C-alpha cells in the first residue's frame, strides 16, 4: 500500500543518513588522528635530536671537571658558581649528560632546551665584568615540567590536540627564577591531562620509576620525579593540584614543596577544572634536597616581582623571621588519618621522623584529624565533577589513549545512577572511601555548594583544632604506599590521593622529604595489613616486593606559613645527616 511504501522509504532514508553520518564522523576522526600521529612524529624527532645534541655537548667537558661538578650537592654547586670555580656553561653541559642518562633509564625527558647553552654563556660573559653582581642562583640548571609555560616550547599537557601549543612567554615563576640566575634546560614528561598520578601519554609514552621500571614514577610531575630521583637534575619546577609534586617526589625519592596557592601566580594556566578556585593548581619546586627547595622559594619570593606581574598573587616576601634557625615548634603528628590506612612502611617513617624532629628540639604531640580527612575528600569529589566531567571529556575527545589511560575517560561516560548504585553496594560491603568516590559527585548546584561548604567547614575546624592544641605544624604520611605498578592509579578510586589532596583542599602549604626506604620488615608486616576496601586490597596485593623503594613524610602548616614548613624540612634533613644518612 501507499503507507507501507512511505514507511519503507523513510526507514531507508534514515538508515542511509545514519550510515553517511557515521562514515563522515569516522573519516573526520581518522583524519584528526592521522594528523596527531604525524605531529607526534615531529615532536619525537625534535626530542631525539635535542637529546643527541645534549650527548655531544656533555662530551666537551673534561673528565675531571665533569666528576667535580657531578659530586656537588645543591649548596656546593651554588657556592662554586658564585665563586667562579666552575662556569655556568660547564655545569649546564654536565647536567645535559646526566639528564640524558636519566632519560635512557626512565623516558622522563620531553625535550632538552638548546637555548640553555647560550643562556649559560651569556651569564658567564656577564660575570667577567667586575661590576656585575651575580644573582643568588647564578647558573643553576632548572628542569621544568612540560605543563608549565616556557616561551617557544611545546606545552601539551600530554594531549595530542595541544601538540602545537607553543606559549609566547614563560610562566611568571619561571621568569622570576631566570631573573635569579637559573637556566631552564629541559622539559619533563606528564600524564595525559595531568589529572592522574601515573605518567603515560600518547605523545611521549610512559615514564618509569628509576628504582624499578615496573613501577610508576608518579604524577603528574612524573618526569620531574624520575629525573630528580635518578640524579638527572639538581632542582626542578613542577605543579600540584592534588599531590602532583609530592607524589612523584615520594615515589622517586626526592623532595618537593607545594606553596600556599595564592603566593604563586596561576594567571597563565589555561585549563581549569571545576575545582578551581577552591583547589588551585600551584607551581612548586622539586629537588634533591630541602636546601635547594628553600633557596628556590627564597628567590621566588625575594620581592614583589610575581605579584607585580599578576596582582591576584598575594604580595608576601619570604618571611625570614618565620624561617629562622633554632626556633622550636610544636608539631602534631599522625601515621594514619583514620580514613584509609597507609601501608606499614609508610607509617613507620612517620614515627621515625618524630624522633628525628625531637632530636632537633621540636615538641612532637600525637594529633588526630577526626573526620576531617573523610569529609574533605567528600567535599572534593562533590565539586570535581560539578560539570559532569564535561571539561575533561572535551579534552579527551579524539585523543589517542593507551589502554592503561582508558579508565580516565570511561568513568566519565558511565551515567551517574550506576555510580550511585555502585556506591551503595560498596557501602554495604563497608568500603566507605570507595562509596564516597562513587556517591559524592554532584547532581545540581546545591550539591556543589554543599561540597564547597564542607571544605570550608573542614578548613575552619582544622585550624581551630590546631589553635586549641597550640600546634604550629603537622607531620603525616605522604602517600599510602611506595611506588605502585603503572596501571594502579587509573584502575583504583582516586581516593588514593586523599593523603596529599587534603592539603590542597585545606589550602595548606605542604612539603615532602624522603627519609628512608621500604625494608624486609615492612614486607613482612604487609602480610598483616588489614585490607578493608577495594583500594587497600589492590595496594596490599600489587605493592608487594617493594624492598628498597623510597619512603617519605609530609610536613604541613596553615596557609601562608610556608616558611615554617621549609624550616622543618631542613631540620629533618639536618637530623638525618646527624643520624648518619647519606643525604
Ligand X SMILES: *[C@@H]1O[C@H](CO)[C@@H](O)[C@H](O)[C@H]1NC(C)=O
φ, ψ for residue 540, nearest 5 deg: -60, -45
Task: Label residue 579 left, alpha or beta by phi (over 0 means left) and psi (-120 to 50 means alpha).
Answer: alpha
Interface residue with ligand X among 110, 156, 206, 282 (CB under 6 A) is 206
Tell me, yes or no, if 220 is annotated catalytic: yes
Q: Is the previous residue joined to 220 through a cis bond, with omega within 30 degrees of 0?
A: yes
H or E stretch including 54?
helix 2-59
Pick the catalytic residue from 102, 143, 145, 258. Answer: 145
Least spacing, CB of residue 400 vs ligand X, in Å? 6
Instruction: Considering only residues 433 through 472, tell me which ones interact with ligand X, judged by CB under 6 A.
Output: 443-444, 446-447
The answer to whether 486 contacts ligand X (rule: CB under 6 A) is yes
Cell of 325: 634557625
Closest approach of ligand X to the CB of residue 444, in Å: 4
Angle in degrees, CA 215, 192, 260, rounded to 5: 85
Cell numbers standing for residue 398: 579524539
Which of residues 314 and 416 has its CB atom nearest to ligand X in the complex? 416
The reply to whether 262 sits near ligand X by the rule CB under 6 A is no
Q: What are phi and psi of 123, to 5 degrees?
A: -65, -45
Q: Is residue 417 close enough to count as binding ligand X by CB under 6 A?
A: no
x-or-dash string of contact with ligand X, 294-333, rule CB under 6 A:
----------------------------------------
Beta strand 510-517 with 550-556 is: antiparallel
Closest to ligand X by CB, 402 vs 463, is 402
Under rule CB under 6 A, residue 212 binds ligand X: no
Report in angstroms how near the CB of residue 197 gets to ligand X at its nearest.
14
Residue of the chain from 90, 162, 173, 200 that contacts ligand X (CB under 6 A): 200
Would you say 137 and 179 are in contact if contact means Cβ atoms under 8 Å apart? no
- Beta carbon nearer to ligand X, 62 or 444: 444
* The three cell numbers locating residue 363: 615538641
Q: Is 525 near ligand X (CB under 6 A)?
A: no
The site map against ligand X for 370-409 (x = CB under 6 A) is --------------------------------x-x-----
| Nearest of 243, 282, 241 to residue 264 by alpha carbon | 282
DSSP three-state, residue 514: strand
User: Measured from the CB of residue 443, what is the shortest distance to ligand X in angstroms?
Assistant: 4
The reply to whether 244 belongs to the active site is yes
Q: Which residue has the cell 617519605?
A: 552
Q: Which of 525, 561, 570 is nearest to 543 (CA)?
A: 525
Question: To which H or E segment does residue 208 belong?
Answer: strand 208-209
Say which of 233, 244, 265, 546 is annotated catalytic.
Answer: 244
Residue 490 found at the interface with ligand X (CB under 6 A):
no
Contact region with ligand X (CB under 6 A), list: 111-119, 201-209, 332-340, 520-528:
201-209
Distances (CA, A) of 215 to 20, 212, 311, 359, 488: 45, 6, 41, 34, 9
CB of residue 275 to ligand X, shortest distance in Å: 19
| Interface with ligand X (CB under 6 A) | 200, 202, 205-206, 402, 404, 443-444, 446-447, 486
Q: Which residues are catalytic?
A: 145, 220, 244
Amino acid at each position: 500500500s501507499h503507507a507501507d511504501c512511505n514507511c519503507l522509504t523513510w526507514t531507508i532514508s534514515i538508515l542511509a543518513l545514519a550510515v553517511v553520518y557515521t562514515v563522515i564522523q569516522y573519516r573526520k576522526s581518522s583524519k584528526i588522528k592521522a594528523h596527531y600521529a604525524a605531529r607526534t612524529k615531529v615532536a619525537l624527532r625534535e626530542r631525539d635530536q635535542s637529546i643527541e645534541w645534549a650527548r655531544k655537548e656533555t662530551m666537551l667537558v673534561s673528565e675531571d671537571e665533569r666528576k667535580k661538578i657531578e659530586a656537588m650537592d645543591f649548596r656546593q654547586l651554588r657556592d662554586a658558581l658564585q665563586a667562579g670555580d666552575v662556569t655556568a656553561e660547564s655545569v649546564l653541559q654536565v647536567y645535559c649528560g646526566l639528564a640524558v642518562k636519566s632519560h635512557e633509564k626512565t623516558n622522563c625527558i620531553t625535550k632538552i632546551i638548546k637555548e640553555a647553552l647560550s643562556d649559560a654563556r651569556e651569564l658567564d660573559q656577564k660575570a667577567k665584568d667586575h661590576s656585575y653582581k651575580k644573582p643568588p642562583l647564578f647558573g643553576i640548571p632548572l628542569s621544568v615540567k612540560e605543563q608549565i609555560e616556557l616561551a617557544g616550547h611545546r606545552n601539551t599537557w600530554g594531549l595530542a590536540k595541544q601538540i602545537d601549543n607553543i606559549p609566547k612567554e614563560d610562566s611568571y615563576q619561571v621568569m622570576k627564577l631566570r631573573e635569579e640566575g637559573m637556566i631552564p634546560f629541559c622539559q619533563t614528561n606528564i600524564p595525559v591531562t595531568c589529572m592522574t598520578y601515573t605518567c603515560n601519554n600518547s605523545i611521549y609514552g610512559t615514564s618509569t620509576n628509576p628504582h624499578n621500571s615496573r613501577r610508576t614514577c608518579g604524577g603528574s610531575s612524573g618526569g620531574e620525579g624520575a629525573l630528580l630521583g635518578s640524579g638527572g637534575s639538581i632542582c626542578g619546577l613542577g605543579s600540584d593540584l592534588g599531590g602532583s609534586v609530592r607524589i612523584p617526589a615520594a615515589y622517586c625519592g626526592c623532595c618537593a614543596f607545594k606553596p600556599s596557592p595564592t603566593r604563586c601566580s596561576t594567571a597563565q594556566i589555561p585549563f581549569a577544572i571545576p575545582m578551581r578556585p577552591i583547589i588551585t593548581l600551584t607551581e612548586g619546586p622539586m629537588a634533591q634536597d630541602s636546601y635547594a627547595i628553600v633557596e628556590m622559594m627564597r628567590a621566588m619570593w625575594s620581592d614583589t616581582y610575581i605579584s607585580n606581574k599578576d596582582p591576584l598573587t598575594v604580595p608576601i616576601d619570604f618571611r625570614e623571621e618565620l624561617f629562622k634557625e633554632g626556633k622550636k615548634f610544636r608539631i602534631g603528628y599522625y601515621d594514619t588519618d583514620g580514613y584509609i590506612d597507609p601501608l606499614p612502611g609508610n607509617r613507620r617513617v612517620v614515627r621515625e621522623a618524630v624522633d628525628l624532629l625531637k632530636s632537633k628540639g621540636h615538641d612532637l604531640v600525637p594529633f588526630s584529624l577526626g573526620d576531617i580527612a573523610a569529609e574533605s575528600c567528600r567535599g572534593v569529589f562533590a565539586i570535581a565533577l560539578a560539570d559532569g566531567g564535561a571539561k575533561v571529556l572535551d579534552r579527551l575527545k579524539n585523543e589517542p589513549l593507551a589502554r592503561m589511560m582508558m579508565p580516565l575517560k570511561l568513568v566519565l561516560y558511565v551515567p551517574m545512577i550506576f555510580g550511585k548504585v555502585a556506591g551503595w553496594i560498596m557501602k554495604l560491603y563497608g568500603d566507605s572511601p570507595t562509596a564516597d568516590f562513587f556517591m559524592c559527585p554532584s547532581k545540581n548546584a546545591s550539591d556543589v555548594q554543599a561540597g564547597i561548604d564542607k571544605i570550608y567547614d573542614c578548613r575552619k575546624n582544622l585550624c581551630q583544632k590546631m589553635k586549641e592544641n597550640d600546634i604550629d605544624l603537622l607531620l603525616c604520611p605522604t602517600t599510602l604506599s611506595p611506588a605502585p605498578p603503572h596501571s594502579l592509579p587509573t584502575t583504583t578510586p582516586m581516593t588514593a590521593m586523599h593523603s596529599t589532596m587534603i592539603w590542597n583542599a585545606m589550602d595548606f602549604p605542604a612539603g615532602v622529604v624522603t627519609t628512608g626506604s621500604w625494608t624486609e620488615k615492612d614486607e613482612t608486616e604487609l602480610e598483616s595489613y588489614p585490607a578493608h576496601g577495594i583500594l587497600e586490597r589492590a595496594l596490599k596485593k600489587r605493592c608487594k616486593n617493594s624492598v628498597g623503594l623510597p619512603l617519605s613524610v609530609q610536613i604541613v602548616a596553615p596557609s601562608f606559613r610556608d616558611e615554617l614548613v621549609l624550616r622543618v624540612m631542613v631540620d629533618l634533613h639536618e637530623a638525618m645527616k646527624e643520624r648518619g644518612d647519606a643525604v
